[in-house]
């Protein structure tokens, strides 16, 4: 079978699996943060004597549930203990393989932008991998250094670090790859928190109980701390993961600033939900987050092209070379850059170009979604030429 077709199959299956296990991880993470914020101190003396620090009654699917959380650990270790770890590991593993299939195996197309930096595919891949590893090392170092001193200082410095990474990657890689690698860096940090801190802390607690010792509460506190961090990082990661579908964000000249603003809005909105679970309706947070998103979308809104008169608009014959050079490689009956023309749109004849004029305006000019990943290096001047042709009535 054709190599491009095999890549499409691998992409489909990995994306599907990544989505499935990601839902399992994020769902359990959101649930336990909600649970911690909703638990109430027990009134039953027997529960207090057992060491229960909080409990909750809930109904779901026709059944009643009574989750209980111990201050440190139960007096006796249960025989059947479920560990929430494979959801995280599976999400990271499938995400990394998906990153390899979509970007690292096609780095020359999807990661290298000659207009930004003269990188080889290998160098672009190296930058991507260094970002994943370096992001974890910086985050973990900041945690170790500052967490006991000032949570606010830690959050501020880590946010500035993410901003710096976004700025640097958007000057080195294609916008699409830059956004994705910022998200992959944060996601790697989240999974590393589970692997290096949360699960080892839980194992240490269990081991102490198996030896008949009283577990040190510090391990649970550290694990919970990292788990809360993961909760705040989830929405920024999710945006980065879907950003490749919205080229008007990552193709902007100040794309790093666009990403910074959206990530900040995501954190503010998540903070609102965390406070809401505790019974606090802190409306300024979603208002601020929503205002930031609105400001970004207004900022990115395309500016309509104004012509002195319709006669000054370029003709089909004038824009045809641009379409042939930048679009027909994918949108033709025999595409050379894709297994099949995306969305079945054909642009290999003048008639098809005129027929699909409104789609060209939307996808190539207003949203900058095409060419996909700007694989054919369409310039801003060429996009403006297409916009002027559309303003003149696609004649």
Tens digits of residue pLDDT in 323-372: 999 998 889 888 888 778 888 899 988 899 899 989 888 888 888 888 87
Is residue 175 packed enough to be buried (19+ CB in 10 Å), middle (13-18) or exposed (0-12)? buried
Phi, psi of 216 (to 5 degrees): -75, 125
pLDDT value of residue 24: 95
DSSP string, 59-123: EETTEEE--EEESS--SS--S------HHHHHHHHHHHHHHHHHTGGGHHHHTB-TTT----HHH
For residue 165, pLDDT over 90 is answered with: yes
Distance CA 234, CA 25 (A): 10
Percent of residues, the chain, with pLDDT higher than 90 = 56
For residue 310, pLDDT over 70 is answered with: no
Q: How confident is the model at residue 191 (pLDDT cuts 50, 70, 90)?
A: very high
pLDDT value of residue 1: 64
Q: How confident is the model at residue 55 (pLDDT cuts 50, 70, 90)?
A: very high
Residue 365 CB coordination number (10 Å): 23
User: pLDDT tens digits, residue range 119-158?
Assistant: 999 999 999 999 999 999 999 999 999 988 888 999 999 9
Q: How confident is the model at residue 93 (pLDDT cuts 50, 70, 90)?
A: very high
User: pLDDT tens digits, residue range 142-151?
Assistant: 999 998 888 8
Distance CA 126, CA 360 (A): 35
| Closest residue by Cα to residue 187 from 263, 261, 95 | 95
Helix (H, G, I), strand (E, B) or coil at 55: strand
What ranges do the domains of the chain cover?
105-254, 310-391
| Closest residue by Cα to residue 176 from 96, 91, 251 | 251
Q: Which two tokens stand for residue 341?
A: 């023309």
Q: Which two tokens stand for residue 162?
A: 């993410």
For residue 117, pLDDT over 70 is answered with: yes
pLDDT value of residue 153: 94
Distance CA 376, CA 338 (A): 12
For residue 212, pLDDT over 90 is answered with: no
DSSP string, 279-333: T---THHHHHHHHHHHHHHHHHPPPPP--S-GGGSPPHHHHHHHHHHHTTTTSSS
Distance CA 164, CA 170 (A): 10
For residue 373, pLDDT over 80 is answered with: no
Which residues, listed in sequence order, are joined to residue 60 by a DSSP beta bridge? 63
pTM: predicted TM-score of the whole model, two decimal places:
0.86
The CA-based angle 205-208-212, given to 5 degrees, is 135
Distance CA 13, CA 128 (A): 23
Distance CA 257, CA 24 (A): 31
For residue 308, pLDDT over 70 is answered with: no
Query: Do 270 and 231 touch, CB atoms closer than 8 A?
Result: yes
| Closest residue by Cα to residue 368 from 238, 239, 245 | 245
Is residue 144 packed enough to be buried (19+ CB in 10 Å), middle (13-18) or exposed (0-12)? exposed
Helix (H) or strand (E) holding 54: strand 52-55
């Amino acid at each position: 079978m054709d190599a491009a077709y095999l890549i499409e199959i691998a992409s489909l299956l990995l994306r599907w699996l990544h989505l499935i296990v990601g839902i399992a991880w994020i769902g359990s993470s959101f649930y336990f943060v909600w649970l911690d914020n909703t638990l109430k101190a027990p009134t039953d003396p027997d529960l207090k004597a057992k060491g229960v620090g909080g409990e909750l009654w809930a109904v779901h699917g026709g059944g009643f549930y009574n989750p209980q959380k111990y201050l440190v650990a139960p007096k006796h270790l249960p025989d059947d203990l479920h560990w929430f770890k494979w959801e995280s590991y599976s999400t990271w593993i499938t995400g990394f393989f998906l990153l390899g299939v979509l970007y690292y195996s096609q780095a020359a197309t999807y990661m290298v932008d000659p207009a930004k930096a003269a990188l080889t595919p290998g160098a672009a891949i190296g930058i991507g991998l260094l970002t994943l590893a370096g992001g974890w090392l910086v985050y973990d170092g900041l945690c170790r250094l500052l967490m006991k001193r000032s949570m606010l200082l830690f959050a501020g410095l880590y946010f500035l670090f993410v901003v710096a990474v976004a700025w640097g990657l958007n000057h080195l890689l294609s916008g699409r790859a830059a956004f994705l690698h910022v998200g992959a860096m944060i996601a790697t940090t989240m999974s590393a928190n589970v692997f290096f801190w949360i699960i080892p802390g839980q194992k240490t607690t269990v081991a102490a109980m198996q030896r008949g010792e009283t577990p040190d509460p510090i391990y649970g506190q550290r694990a919970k701390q990292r788990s809360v961090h993961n909760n705040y990082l989830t929405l920024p990661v999710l945006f980065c993961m879907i950003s490749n579908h919205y080229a008007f964000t990552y193709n902007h000249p100040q794309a790093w600033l666009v990403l910074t603003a959206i990530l900040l809005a995501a954190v503010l909105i998540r903070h609102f939900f965390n406070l809401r679970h505790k019974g606090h309706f802190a409306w300024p947070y979603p208002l601020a987050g929503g205002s930031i998103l609105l400001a970004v979308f207004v900022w990115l809104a395309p500016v309509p092209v104004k012509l002195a008169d319709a006669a000054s608009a370029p003709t089909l014959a004038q824009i045809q070379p641009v379409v042939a050079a930048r679009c027909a490689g994918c949108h033709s009956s025999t595409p050379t850059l894709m297994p099949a023309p995306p969305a079945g749109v054909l642009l290999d004849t003048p008639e098809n170009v005129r027929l699909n004029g409104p789609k060209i305006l939307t996808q190539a000019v207003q949203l900058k979604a095409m060419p996909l990943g700007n694989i054919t290096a369409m310039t801003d001047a060429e996009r403006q030429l297409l916009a002027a042709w559309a303003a003149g009535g696609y004649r």
